[in-house]
Amino acid sequence: MSEENRNQEYSASNIQVLEGLEAVRKRPAMYIGDIGMKGLHHLVYEVVDNSIDEALAGHCSHIDCFINENNSITVTDNGRGIPTDMHEKEGRSALEVVMTVLHAGGKFDKGSYKVSGGLHGVGVSCVNALSSDLRVEVHREGKVFEQEYKIGAPQYDVREIGTTDKTGTFVTFLPDASIFEETVYHFDIIVARLRELAFLNKGINLSITDKRRKDDDGEFVKEEFYSEGGLKEFVSFLDETRDSILQDVIYIDGEKDGVPVEVAMVYNTSYTENVHSYVNNINTIEGGTHLSGFRRGLTRTLKKYADESGLLKKVKFEISGDDFREGLTAVISVKVMEPQFEGQTKTKLGNKEVTTAVSQSVSDMLTFYLEENPEQAKRIVLKVILAATARNAAAKAREMVQRKSVLVGSGLPGKLSDCSEKDPAKSEIYLVEGDSAGGTAKQGRDRHFQAILPLRGKILNVEKAMQHKVFENEEIKNMFKALGVSIGTLDDERELNIEKLRYHKVIVMTDADIDGSHIATLLLTFFFRYLKPLIEQGYVYIATPPLYLLKKGKDHRYCWDEDQREGMIQEMKGGKDVNVIIQRYKGLGEMNASQLWDTTLNPEYRTLKQVTIDNAAEADRVFSMLMGDEVPPRRAFIEANAKYANIDA
Ligand code: 0RA
C-alpha cells in the first residue's frame, strides 16, 4: 500500500470511527441500556467482560477493579495484553482499533471462544465514547504502551513509555458527566456483580477496591472473590439461610453438542422455586430455551424415577411440573457461541438447539445421582408428593377466589376506594398499612387517579407459607382482585396474567418506623415471589412519608432525614435566635389528610422509590434471609443497611 493510499484510508476509517462513537453518544441508551445508575455500572461490566474473555481463553488469572477517588474506574488484568502491532487494513495500532471501533472486540482472535460480553455486547469502544477521559496501558512483549482518549477520540498515537516483565491490560475511565444522570459509583452494586462473575467462572480471582473509603485499619475498603467450586458454591451461597433436605449440592459441569452446560441444584424445606439462569454470564431473567431444557430434564428424570420407585402408588392425582420445583434452588449456566436474545428486555435465550443439550445433560446427571444416592432420592420424591398434595388444596382455594370474584360482579374488594380513571397508565393504587392511615389517605388523595387499599396489620410471610395458604389469605386475595391480576395454568406452569393490571403505579405506603419497614418488606417479598413481573416492569414503588415537620410561626417545612432537618433548621433560623419546633412523625396516622397529600401523595412533591431487581440472585438471597428463621444474618443485614431502611433490596 502506498503512503498516500494509507493516509487516505486512514482518514476514511477515522471518519467512520468518529461517526460510530457519535452514534453511541447520541443514543447511549441503545448501547448500554440506560443513562442512570444501571448504565453507569454497565460501563464497568463491559470492561471487566473483556478481561473475563481473556481469562476464559486461559490467559488471565487476576482481574482487579478500583473505584478511584474521583469516581473514575480502573480495571486491570494479567492477560496477554491487547495487541499493539499495526493493524494492516486500518493503518493504525490494533489497540487503537479495539478502543475506538464499535464491535471490534473479538476480531483478532477468531479461533477463541468469546462467550462473555455484556448484555448488549457493545465492547470497550462504547465505554470509551461515553467517557470524558480514558487511558489504556498495555504490558506486552517486554514493553509498556499507552494511549489516552477524550470522549473516544485518541489524544495521540499509541506510544511506548517503558519496559516491563509482565503482561496485562489496564483501563481507567471517567464516565462523561454530561451523559450520565448519576456519576457516583456504588461499591455494593459492583461487589454483587463480581461475586456473581466469580461463581460463574470458577478459578478467576476478582477484586474491587474502593479508594474513596478506608476501613478501621486505615486500608481502602476491598472485597475479593474466588470460587473453586463454581455454581456448586453459588447455590450454597444462595441457600445459606435455608435448610437443605439433601446432603450436598447436585452438580454437573460438562458439554453436550458443543454447548458447555453447568448446573447446580439443591432442595430446601421452603416452598419457593429459585432458579437463576445465565447465558454467557448474562442473567437471563426471562429464561428461554436453556431454562426449558433444565425443567424438561428435571421433570422427566424425577417422574421416571418416582414411577419406578413405587413411591407414587398411593398418589391419586396428577403431579405437575411445578411440584418438582418447590423448594428447589438451582443455577444454570450455559455458554452459547451465537446467542439469540429475545423478549422485552432481551434476556430470553432463543437458540432452539440449547433445549436438548441442557435437557440431556440434566437427565444424565440426575439419573446418575438418583441411582447413586437412593436415600437422597427418596427425600426428593417425598418432597414432590408433598408439594403436589398442597397444590391440589391450593387449586381448590384459588378456584373459590375466582368464582367469588365473578359473583361480586366487578370483582373489586369492598375495602378498595377506587379511582375514577380507567386508563391503567394514568392510575395509581396505594397499599396502605392499617385502616386508620387508609382512612386518612382516602380523604387526602386525588380520587380522580389515586386508589387506596388499606391492609390490615401483619401481612403473611410468603417466604414461609405454603402456596395454598398464600392464596387463601384475605389481604392477598384483595390485592390480586384490586390489581386485576389473575393466575392460570398453562403448559404445566403457573402463569400470571397481568394484562388486566388496573394500575401502572402500585405504591406501598407504611409507617416510617421499624414495624412499618417490616410490613413493607413483607409486602415486597410477596411481590417478589408472586408478582415479579410487576417489579420487573417497573410498576412497584415505595412511598416516602416525611420524618419531621419543622414549624416557625406559619412557616411549615417537612424533612425526610436528619441531615435535611439540621440544614433546614439553620436556614429557618437565618442566624437569629428564633425557636423552631420539631415534630417527629412516628406514623402515617399522625398526619392529617392535607399533610399526607402535600408530602406523600401529591405527585408534584412526593418522592417515590421505584423497586427494581438489579441483581436477581442477590435479591433472592436478601429476601430469604430477611424473611427466614435465622436471626443473626437478618440483624447484620438490617444494621448494615439501616440508612436505606431495607427497601433498596
Ligand atoms: C485479542 C488478542 C489478544 C489479546 C486480547 C484480545 C485481549 C483483550 C483484552 C481486553 C481486556 N483485557 C484483554 N486482554 C487481552 C492477544 C493475542 C495474542 O497475544 O496472541
Domain housing 242: 231-396
Least confident of 93-107, 155-169, 395-409, 440-454: 395-409
| Candidate of 65, 76, 77, 82 to mutate for ligand 1, largest count of ligand atoms within 8 Å of Cβ | 82
Q: Is pLDDT above 90 for 639?
A: no
17 found inside a domain: yes
Nearest residue (by CA) to ligand 1, atom 10, is: 50
113 found inside a domain: yes
- CATH number for the domain spanning 280: value is 3.30.230.10
Where a domain ends, among 225, 242, 267? 225
Ligand 1 contact via 137 beta carbon (within 6 Å): no
Do 506 and 574 belong to one domain?
no
Confidence of residue 457 (pLDDT cuts 50, 70, 90): low
- CATH number for the domain spanning 191: value is 3.30.565.10
249 found inside a domain: yes
Give me the mean pLDDT over the 202-228 stretch.
97
7 found inside a domain: no
The atom of ligand 1 lying closest to the CA of 47 is: 11
Where a domain ends, among 380, 396, 412? 396
| Mean pLDDT for the chain overall | 87
Ligand 1 contact via 79 beta carbon (within 6 Å): yes
Nearest residue (by CA) to ligand 1, atom 3, is: 82
Pairing of strands 159-163, 143-150: antiparallel
Q: Which amino acid is at 316?
A: K
What integer pLDDT is reported at residue 469 of this predicted model?
81
Give me the mean pLDDT over the 104-127 stretch.
56
Do 251 and 392 belong to one domain?
yes
Where a domain ends, among 349, 364, 396? 396
Confidence of residue 345 (pLDDT cuts 50, 70, 90): confident
Give me the mean pLDDT over the 549-576 stretch.
91
Q: How far is the CA of 138 from the centre of ligand 1 (A)?
A: 10
CA angle 163–164–166, rounded 5-degree value: 160
Q: Is pLDDT above 60 for 502?
A: yes
What percent of the chain is helix, strand and coil (3-state, nearest 5)?
40, 25, 35
Do 492 and 625 belong to one domain?
yes
Do 502 and 480 belong to one domain?
yes
Do 142 and 286 belong to one domain?
no
Do 71 and 203 belong to one domain?
yes
What integer pLDDT is reported at residue 514 of this predicted model?
79
Do 33 and 154 belong to one domain?
yes
The CA–CA distances, whole Å, from 397 to 472, 477, 530 equal 6, 10, 16
For 402-420, write each residue's pLDDT tens digit. Answer: 554 433 334 899 999 999 9
- CATH number for the domain spanning 525: value is 3.40.50.670
1 found inside a domain: no
Nearest residue (by CA) to ligand 1, atom 12, is: 51
How far apart CA 486 and CA 500 sit, in angstroms, is: 8
The atom of ligand 1 lying closest to the CA of 140 is: 19
Do 535 and 552 belong to one domain?
no
Do 511 and 576 belong to one domain?
no
Do 276 and 217 belong to one domain?
no
621 found inside a domain: yes
Tally the C-alpha atoms within 13 A of residue 332's C-alpha that lie toward its C-beta: 31
285 found inside a domain: yes
Q: How far is the CA of 521 from the centre of ligand 1 (A)?
A: 45
Number of domains within the chain: 4
Do 351 and 410 belong to one domain?
no
Do 164 and 209 belong to one domain?
yes
Pairing of strands 428-433, 450-455: parallel
Q: Quick one: which of 539, 463, 469 has its CA closest to 498?
A: 539
How far apart CA 133 and CA 495 sit, in angstroms, is: 48
584 found inside a domain: yes
Active site amino acids: 433, 511, 513, 515
Q: Give the total residue count for the chain.
A: 649
Q: What is the pTM of this model?
A: 0.81
